[in-house]
A = this chain, B = another copy of it.
């Protein structure tokens, strides 16, 4: 029984560590990206779209596909894309095969911004994930 309680305690400690790293990293990310007008979720989506490797829109993702890669609800993602579109960072275009669907792709401006911001994000990850819980 005592061993079981210890195992549970280890689990709880593991979870607290994870919460701590997550909170600190998201916070740092938000702070670092804020001066570029982005938050952590925004960058996640831009990063997914940049990984799509198509500047002409042919490789654009469907909203559903983005939702599979970031941890947001469909509605939150829809609005987030709306904000990025309003800022001129992404483009929505109707999917001709399935006209319910929407294809989302980076604009040149979005691609440029992603290129600028990526090193910043990578640097934050390096600091926060490597340094350990000491932060």
Contacts and interface: CB of A to CB of B under 8 A. Distances in A.
Contact of A22 (B12, B18, B126): B18
Nearest to A71: B23
Interface in A37-57: 44
B71 A14 contact: no
Interface in A10-67: 11-12, 14-15, 18-25, 44
A2 to B, nearest CB: 15
Interface string A96-135: 0000000000000000000000000010011001100000
B20 A18 contact: no
A127 to B, nearest CB: 10
B15 A125 contact: yes
Interface of A: 8, 11-12, 14-15, 18-25, 44, 71, 122, 125-126, 129-130
Smallest CB-CB A-B distances: 6 pairs: A23-B71, A11-B125, A22-B22, A8-B122, A15-B125, A14-B129
